[in-house]
Amino acid sequence: MAISERNPVPALAGSASAYVTPSTSFGVFKRPVQSTGWRSWVFTVDHKKLGIMYGVVAMIFFIIGGVEALLIRLQLAAPNNRVLSAGAYNQMFTMHATTMVFLFVMPMAAAFANYLVPLQIGARDVAFPRLNAFGFWCFLFGGIFLNTSWFLGGAADSGWFAYAPNTALAFSPSHGVDFWALGLQITGIASLTGAINLIVTVLNMRAPGMSLMKMPIFTWMVLVVQFLLLFAIPVITVALFLLTFQRSFGAAFFSVEKGADPLLWQHLFWIFGHPEVYILVLPSFGIVSEVLPVFSKKPLFGYKFVVFSGAAIGFLGWGVWAHHMFASGLGPVSVAVFSVATMAIALPTGVKIVNWTMTLWGGKLRFTTAMLFAVGLIVEFTIGGLSGVTHAVAPSDTQQTDTYYIVAHFHYVLFGGAVFGLFAGFYYWWPKIFAKMLNERLGKWNFWLMVVGMNLTFGPMHILGLQGQPRRMQVWTAFRAGDGFFNLAFWNRVASVGSFVLAIGVLMFLINVVYTHRTAGVAPADPWDARSLEWMTSNPPAEHNFDAIPTVHELDEFFHRKYEENEATGEIHQVSTYEEIMADEATRADKHIHLPSPSYWPIILALGLPLIAYGLIFARLLAVFGGVIILLAMFGWSMEPSVADESDYDPPVDGGPTKELATLG
């Protein structure tokens, strides 16, 4: 794309020789120059293309994780069922959680963050575009690597929490846990590089006038999440290294017979794992905090409180990890401290719910699908949050932990919270990204089927758990289901039926996407009468995002350019349209825009990582090969300037673009 804008004249003239090729080879290869076809995606460093790729791949993993969930619910539909063997079932719930957490929600949030943060802050790309591409490829290769374990001796079977010493070779003899540990290391690199990149982008590259407290709330929540990732990822990295060293090189870290303390793993895992919960859910909080104001025609109620509560959750999230370990035997003093800390974190979370509700209050509400998902999130997440408070009470948690009550709780938080937020984001930003409006009729089917499906699936799990059905059980027995028509067998069946309703709801989304892209016309430029900067450009935005970097005066800058308040009457009236604002911006358009150039190195560098991982499991020689690729790729990468200047390129061919044009883009 960079090159295509570099070079619009031949394209207009229909000329075939569309490229201006690099004259200098930095490292081994000359830069890639294709502006169309698969190469323009594979070697891209454009945050928007990477965002789309993150989204597409995450959606595929969502489907895989969803199929795993359906198999689990099929197995549990009847007592002593035989759909899955014990081994297969254990792999299934391990991979379902791993896939949904690491390969769907996190990367889908990364998709939104990648695509939208630069647009929301008025930047032309992220701070480190190649690093961004590298992160995506790490995620993709890590995800593929993890899932190949299914075909190479079985997937991990020790739960996504992988408590030691059950992960030791003696207890989990297949390569599954090795795949799991190494795969998460690779996706962890994606998260860490992404975090550094987005933090620098948000802190350093805001448009003139955009102070931190004028930043769109989604960007704020993304910023908090990136800080959580920055500090949480290294902790799980340590834990995974210890695990890999133990399994591959015989280290003693979790060998109880050598005096190891199995609780070490639990502490390391949950010091990462609890911030991880907020990593999953805060981006969605950001999304609904964008959607609710737009469709209420009001600013977010208590913007500052939402920002500070997000930051407070970010801080407090580090002090509550041991509430996952109330039954582990920490001693009453620790348990008491963590119990109270956990209750405290309910406060900033409650602030958000209050502010969302108050945003609706007194508004002018339009119930588009995006708005429905956002309002749905308020209610479903509240249920999850409140059931969270009930097991912050440590003594009752000892009855509830590791039962279906917990499964119900975190699915209300993660499905009703995180996933609903992501779906609100799909419907809200789809016209921005693809210039098509998703069909609202199908959208409402999508929403209602998902709401009904999720409440049917996860609602009964509250009963199942409180009446004593533990989680991670391949089978349950009719005897322990109790008597009566509405016994646990009944609720297990309801949950299984509900999961298929839920799946049909998700299917509606996919149908909607296909249907829309076949039939729908070009979406209007500002379909929702939106408030923030990402809408103050074309749909989809040009490669360089903004012709002129806007100067920001207000929170909700775009809205304030469109509307003014009559000071006498207090009435809000429109003063200009999208077209007028864009025309005004066009007069200030930058003539000389330099964009980062595509590069081979990110994908090559990322390719070395799964090679090392396969090598560690199957043949050390392959690991050496992977290491060599990484070293060479790093060398090539550091030799290549991320932005090509004009002197990199061959002089324009006759009739080709002039130097002046070539500098654009």
Partner 1 sequence: MSHSCATKPLQSNMTTVKNVQNQSGDSMTSNSTRRRRWAMPVAAVAAFTVLSGCAKDAPQDTWQPAGENARKIHDLQVWPFGIAGIVLLIVCAAVGYSVFKFRDRGQAIPKQSHGKPSLEIALTVLPALILIGIGIPTVSTLFDLAKTSDTECVVNVTGQQWWWEYDYPAQAGCGGIEKPIVTSGQLVIPAGQHVLLRISSRDVIHSYWIPKLNGKRDAVPGRVQTLRMQADQPGIYSGQCTEFCGLSHAYMRMEAVSLDAAGFKTWVDNQLKPYTAPTADSKYSEGEALFITNCTRCHQVNGILGTDGKEVIARPDKYVYPGVAPNLTNLMTRTTFAGAAFDLQTEACKTRLWNTPPAQFTAAYLEGVTPQCLDIVQLREWLRNPTTKKPMYADPTKLATTGGMYRGMPNLGLTEDQIDKLVAYLTERK
Partner 2 sequence: MADVAVHTPPADGHGDHSQGHTTSTGLSNNKLAMWMFLGSECLLFGGLISTYMLYRGRHEGSPTPSQLYNIPLTSVSSFVLLMSSLTMVLAVSAAQRRDDRNTMTWLTVTALLGATFVGAQVFEFTEFVREGLGFTTNLFGSSFFTLTGFHGVHVTVGIIMLMALVGMVSRSRIPGDKAEVVEMIGLYWHFVDIVWIIIFTLVYLIPS
Residues numbered 164-183 forming contacts with partner 1, rule: CB under 8 A:
165-166, 169-173
DSSP classification of residue 574: E
Closest CA to 662 of 20, 224, 73, 14: 20
The number of residues that bind partner 1 (CB under 8 A) is 115
Q: Please report how the helices 47-75 and 129-148 are oriented relative to each other, as an axis angle in degrees rounded to 10.
A: 20
- Listed ranges 160-168, 259-267, 451-459, 479-487: which one lies at the site for partner 2 (CB under 8 A): 259-267
Q: How far is Cα of residue 298 from the mean position of the Cα atoms in its chain?
A: 27
Amino acid identity, position 445: W
> Do 602 and 592 meet the contact criterion of CB atoms below 8 Å apart?
no
DSSP classification of residue 217: H
Q: State which residue, 253 or 429, has the beta carbon closest to partner 2.
A: 253
Cα–Cα distance, 63 to 196 (Å, whole number): 29
**Tokens matching residue 206:** 């805001």
Query: Does residue 161 bind partner 2 (CB under 8 A)?
Result: no
Query: Does residue 390 bind partner 2 (CB under 8 A)?
Result: no
Residue 596's binding partner among partner 2, partner 1, none (Cβ under 5 to 8 angstroms by kind) is: partner 2
| From 63, 83, 251, 341, residue interacting with partner 2 (rule: CB under 8 A) | 251
Q: State which residue, 24 or 398, has the beta carbon closest to partner 1.
A: 398
The set of residues, in sequence order, having a beta carbon less than 8 Å from that of 344 and lying 6+ positions away, is 316
| From 239, 292, 422, 523, residue interacting with partner 2 (rule: CB under 8 A) | 239
Closest CA to 301 of 311, 292, 312, 310: 292
Residue 256's binding partner among partner 2, partner 1, none (Cβ under 5 to 8 angstroms by kind) is: partner 1
Cβ neighbourhood burial of 583 (10 Å; 0-12, 13-18, 19+): exposed
Closest CA to 116 of 278, 358, 272, 289: 289
- Listed ranges 161-169, 536-544, 575-583, 610-618: which one lies at the site for partner 1 (CB under 8 A): 161-169
Map the footprint of partner 1 across residues 365-424, applying CB under 8 A: 365-367, 375, 378-380, 382-383, 386-387, 389-390, 392-403
Query: Does residue 537 bind partner 2 (CB under 8 A)?
Result: no
The number of residues making up the chain comes to 665
Q: State which residue, 140 or 325, has the beta carbon closest to partner 1.
A: 325
Residue 237's binding partner among partner 2, partner 1, none (Cβ under 5 to 8 angstroms by kind) is: partner 2
Cα–Cα distance, 370 to 359 (Å, whole number): 15
3-state secondary structure 267-324: HHHHHHHHHHHHHHHHHHHHHHHHHHHHHHCCCCCCHHHHHHHHHHHHHHHHHCHHHH
Residue 403 pairs with which residues in a beta bridge? 470
User: Within a 10 A sphere around the Cβ of 258, how many other Cβ atoms?
Assistant: 9
- Listed ranges 162-170, 195-203, 292-300, 486-494: which one lies at the site for partner 2 (CB under 8 A): 195-203
Query: Does residue 331 bind partner 1 (CB under 8 A)?
Result: yes
CB of 263 to partner 2, least distance (A): 10
Map the footprint of partner 2 across residues 587-606, applying CB under 8 A: 590, 592-596, 605
Residue 323's Cβ-side half-sphere holds a number of Cα atoms within 13 Å equal to 30
- Listed ranges 58-66, 108-116, 156-164, 283-291: which one lies at the site for partner 1 (CB under 8 A): 156-164
Q: State which residue, 580 or 590, has the beta carbon closest to partner 2.
A: 590
What is the chain's alpha carbon radius of gyration, rounded to the nearest angstrom? 26
| From 441, 472, 553, 620, residue interacting with partner 1 (rule: CB under 8 A) | 472
Site string for partner 2, 617-646 (x = CB under 8 A): -----------------xx-xxxxxxx-xx
Residue 134's binding partner among partner 1, partner 2, none (Cβ under 5 to 8 angstroms by kind) is: partner 2
Cα–Cα distance, 629 to 182 (Å, whole number): 18
- Listed ranges 37-45, 478-486, 519-527, 611-619: which one lies at the site for partner 1 (CB under 8 A): 478-486
Map the footprint of partner 2 across residues 1-40, applying CB under 8 A: none
Map the footprint of partner 2 across residues 41-80, applying CB under 8 A: none
Query: Does residue 213 bind partner 2 (CB under 8 A)?
Result: no
CB of 296 to partner 1, least distance (A): 7
Residue 544's Cβ-side half-sphere holds a number of Cα atoms within 13 Å equal to 20
DSSP classification of residue 618: T
Map the footprint of partner 2 across residues 94-133, applying CB under 8 A: 123-125, 127-131
Site string for partner 1, 248-267 (x = CB under 8 A): --------x--xxxxx----
> Do 34 and 121 meet the contact criterion of CB atoms below 8 Å apart?
no
CB of 235 to partner 2, least distance (A): 5
* Residue indicated by tokens 């509606």: 508
The number of residues that bind partner 2 (CB under 8 A) is 66
Cα–Cα distance, 628 to 54 (Å, whole number): 27
> Do 530 and 294 meet the contact criterion of CB atoms below 8 Å apart?
yes
Q: State which residue, 358 or 634, has the beta carbon closest to partner 1.
A: 358
> Do 9 and 656 meet the contact criterion of CB atoms below 8 Å apart?
yes
Amino acid identity, position 530: A
CB of 523 to partner 2, least distance (A): 27
| From 17, 238, 486, 624, residue interacting with partner 1 (rule: CB under 8 A) | 486
Binding stretches for partner 2 (CB under 8 A): 123-125, 127-131, 134, 192-193, 195-197, 199-200, 203-206, 210, 230-235, 237-239, 241-242, 245-246, 249-253, 255, 258-261, 264, 268, 544, 549, 590, 592-596, 605, 634-635, 637-643, 645-646
